[in-house]
Structure 1
Amino acid sequence: MLIGVIADDFTGASDIAVTLAKGLPGEGGLQTTQYAGIPCEPAAADVEAGVIALKSRSIPASSAVEQALAACRWLLEQGCEQIVFKYCSTFDSTDSGNIGPVTDALAELLAVQSVVICPAFPALGRTLYQGHLFVQDRLLSESGMEHHPLTPMKDADVRRVLQRQSVNRVAHIPWQTVVAGSAALQKVLNDQPVRTLLVVDAISEHDLTTIGRACKGARLVTGGSGIALALPHNFIAQRRASGKQARAPLIEGPEAILVGSCSGATRQQILEHQKAHPVMKIEVRDVLEGNVGPEQLTAFIHQHQGNAPLVYSSGDPAAVQSIQQQYGREKVAEALDNLFGKTAQKLVAEGTRRIVVGGGETSGAVVSALGLVALTIGKEIDTGVPAMVSPGDKPLALALKSGNFGEKDFFARAVEALRGSAERSAVINQA
């Protein structure tokens, strides 16, 4: 294994995993596997990039540090030469958040002097300029993220947010230095007198490619998934990896779509999906009061099999906040995670082979409930969302979508993207 990634949620892990798997255009990427949590066994010999998906984005800093260090040690045991700490491209982290503490701890463990900090993801409109994070043409603090129920982002200056979390010096590398090229940027990275977290501007994928090339040989890199664009290139250029095209893990069989995100993008995707497909809305209150459970969800999905049935608990932020205030945020989250996890278990036991999941927390709940340890990364369905397949005699095909990702017709396209011919399924079963 050459590159090891520590991701703070499941869909974020999928996002960077497909980035590593596809690599630069015309060049190919690395053979990539995503792990649900820290594995107990060594990685397969052919894995070139391993992505560990934690569920640590919103947990206390001390717990996040402990998990990240354990993940890093496992990746180092697999031979990783470069560690990437992946967080959200909207830098979801309050002043008491864990991005700074985790970065500090990894920098100490790996004995590095400078660390790149770059959450930018221009393909989805997240850019970093003069140290400020933008979503499309709005500052992060004016993009709607300032109202996020868990991590309200009220300051778009990544330098200030990070410095309030970190014990290390925080500095800035402006866009003008990035466009001077990877050699100039690498010199700045290498010339830090003390341990420094370097917030690096990026407004295009070309900038991210420049940053990735400049990170050749860096023991630790942090950022959104875009930071990984050129990292495979550094090993391919050294002929330490051949450059591979991601395999498409396609499976025949019944399908289901489970959605727990309340993002605006997901709500629009549900509205689009219900124009031509059956959709069932779950009232959170009914779940909490025991009136709705896995039996009702699976019955609806079986009734509409073959037409991409979708069940969802998504609601507008105000409604979600009201329920959280009445019942408690933790209780609501636990109830929905339990519902979707048990529903996924029941569906798979009854023959479902293709599952599309919307929402990071929901994705984590489903993967954990199904006991999936390693998922092979296939082709990209939509920006940042790969097709994935589980190992074994009865493989599952999955797509795990972060709340804000995907075009309006994502759910219908994702179900079809996971479909394969009987011949293709037989090949996967024999692999």
Structure 2
Amino acid sequence: MVKLLIIADDFTGALDTGVQFAARGAATRVVTDLAYDFTLADAEVLVMVAETRHLPPEEAYDVVYRTARNAREAGIPYIYKKTDSALRGNIGSELTAVMDAAGSDTIAFLPAFPKMGRVTRNGVHYVDGVPVAESVFGKDPFEPVKASAVAQIVGGQTEVPVVLHRLDEAAVPGAPGIQVYDATTDEDLARIGGELGTERLRLSAGCAGFATALADVLGLNGTEPQMPQLPSAFFVACGSVNPVTLRQMRWAEQNGFVHIHLEPVQKLEPAWLESEDCGIKIRIWLEQARNSGRCILDVNDPMGLDDTAVYAKTHGLTTEDLRVRISTQLAHLMKRLLDGGLDAAILCTGGDTLLALMRTVGTAELTPVRELTTGAVLTNFVYRGKTYYIISKSGGFGEPDLFCKLVAFVRAGSQKEDAVC
């Protein structure tokens, strides 16, 4: 029976949160079907990809409310609302939805992820020492974060009171509302989780940062998973436009990766998928992947060019059109590559990319395996009877040499340990 339901606002966040439980041996599944029957799950921890980050607040509320209500009706005792570690999305409306569905007047919210440089101090959220609204997330082309005070962000999306808890205050809430906790270290998160205890954590929220502490408090553990044997080739499907990922790709290209930039028509026009040119490109890309062993298929324009923006303006495409079309098109290209025999560990950057791929190959369930490094999660899915290994990574995570480090993990897992970068 499911003991904990995690409701995630995007796919990569679902995986990097769920893997914190899988890594401790708790049977964990990640599902994308909002109509999933909770009573049929064969896991202790179930992660639902609600994909609400880009929805209007009212729609996000409805999705989360229905999911939380169904969980309660199925007898699931604990619900964790996974939120973005940079505070993007509909956090206030979604936390309110969980509270309303459970008939509760309080929920613990711990947004910090210290391992990734996200901390909350005096009610202000920081990314690598910079207030979040002044970081790269304040410049997000799809959903910029416009404030750094957690109460201002959350309070602007709900009428529920927001109650702040400083580090030197007791964790036990004294008034109803969304209880926001400061935390700057993993030890802070563990201490707060311990002070709140199992009863006050029946409803809680945060990102992957607090998931580790929650797993310990709830006693969700077992036999730790082993590293599976992986294909030695490494293929990146990049759907992220985050500057952090752009730096990682430049580093990888400078260290021997084949870097393929999709042209505007290739990433925006569905009709191109059926063209002879697409078939030719697929064969070329497969050959490049086989020969190089390290390949990037990238939706970003080459540095210094703005071909996509020009194309979008010429064809009357909105920012939302671009987001949806690009992720969908990249997913279809990846399916064509898999159907063509691509045999590689696949790194997907950006939650939209991974969700679109799962939908395109008709798979609604993934199994987290282990975290290769903070924020990069190895998972697997079955397509046409074959198990494929996917590494998921949020666009804003990781050092510049991350792709090279992940290749080393993959080569070690494939028992091929030659130098890579």
Whether 1:110 aligns to 2:93 is no
Provide structure 2 residue ranges, at least 5 long, that are not aligned to the other structure. 416-421
Label 1:4 to 1:291 Cα distance change in 2 as closer, same or farther (>3 A). Answer: closer
Question: 5 Å matches for 1:181-330?
Answer: 184-185=170-171, 188-189=172-173, 191-192=174-175, 195-213=176-194, 214-217=196-199, 218-236=201-219, 241-252=220-231, 255-275=234-254, 276-284=256-264, 287-288=267-268, 293=273, 295=279, 298-306=282-290, 307-315=293-301, 319=306, 327-330=317-320
Q: Do the aligned residues in 1 keep the contact of 2:259 with 2:297 (CA within 8 Å)?
A: yes
> Percent identity of the aligned residues?
25
Whether 1:68 aligns to 2:73 is no
Label 1:19 to 1:323 Cα distance change in 2 as closer, same or farther (>3 A). Answer: farther
Match of 1:343 among 329, 333, 341: 333
Per-residue deviation, 1:131: 0.5
Whether 1:99 aligns to 2:78 is no
Whether 1:364 aligns to 2:355 is yes
Q: Do the aligned residues in 2 keep the contact of 1:87 with 1:223 (CA within 8 Å)?
A: yes
Q: Do the aligned residues in 2 keep the contact of 1:18 with 1:385 (CA within 8 Å)?
A: no
Per-residue deviation, 1:101: 1.4
Question: 5 Å matches for 1:123-134?
Answer: 123-134=115-126
2:390 maps to which residue?
398
Q: Do the aligned residues in 2 keep the contact of 1:16 with 1:228 (CA within 8 Å)?
A: yes
CA distance in 1, matches of 2:109, 2:325: 35
Q: Deviations over 1:115-158 (max 9, x none)?
A: 12222111111110111011112111221322222222221111
CA distance in 2, matches of 1:223, 1:67: 18
Per-residue deviation, 1:366: 1.3
1:54 maps to which residue?
50
- The letter for the 1-side match of 2:4 is I
Per-residue deviation, 1:279: 1.0
Match of 1:90 among 77, 86, 90: 86
Per-residue deviation, 1:296: 5.5
Give the stretch that moved more between structures: 259-268 or 112-121.
112-121
Q: Deviations over 1:293-324 (max 9, x none)?
A: 45365334311234121110125799466665
TM (normalized to structure 1)?
Answer: 0.84
CA distance in 1, matches of 2:287, 2:213: 46
Question: 5 Å matches for 1:19-38?
Answer: 19-22=20-23, 28-38=24-34
Q: Do the aligned residues in 1 keep the contact of 2:7 with 2:50 (CA within 8 Å)?
A: yes
Question: 5 Å matches for 1:139-154?
Answer: 139-154=131-146
Label 1:291 to 1:47 Cα distance change in 2 as closer, same or farther (>3 A). Answer: closer
Secondary structure at the counterpart of residue 403 of structure 1: coil
Secondary structure at the counterpart of residue 390 of structure 1: strand
Secondary structure at the counterpart of residue 309 of structure 1: strand
Label 1:289 to 1:389 Cα distance change in 2 as closer, same or farther (>3 A). Answer: closer
1:25 maps to which residue?
none
Provide structure 1 residue ranges, at least 5 long, that are not aligned to the other structure. 23-27, 178-183, 423-431
Label 1:398 to 1:150 Cα distance change in 2 as closer, same or farther (>3 A). Answer: same
Q: Do the aligned residues in 1 keep the contact of 2:20 with 2:215 (CA within 8 Å)?
A: no
CA distance in 2, matches of 1:347, 1:404: 26
Secondary structure at the counterpart of residue 52 of structure 2: coil
Paired residues in the alignment total 398
Label 1:148 to 1:255 Cα distance change in 2 as closer, same or farther (>3 A). Answer: closer
Q: Deviations over 1:166-190 (max 9, x none)?
A: 121111001112xxxxxx41xx22x
- The letter for the 1-side match of 2:393 is K
| C-alpha RMSD of the superposition | 2.7
Per-residue deviation, 1:162: 1.2
- The letter for the 1-side match of 2:253 is Q
Per-residue deviation, 1:404: 1.1
TM (normalized to structure 2)?
Answer: 0.86
CA distance in 2, matches of 1:350, 1:363: 19
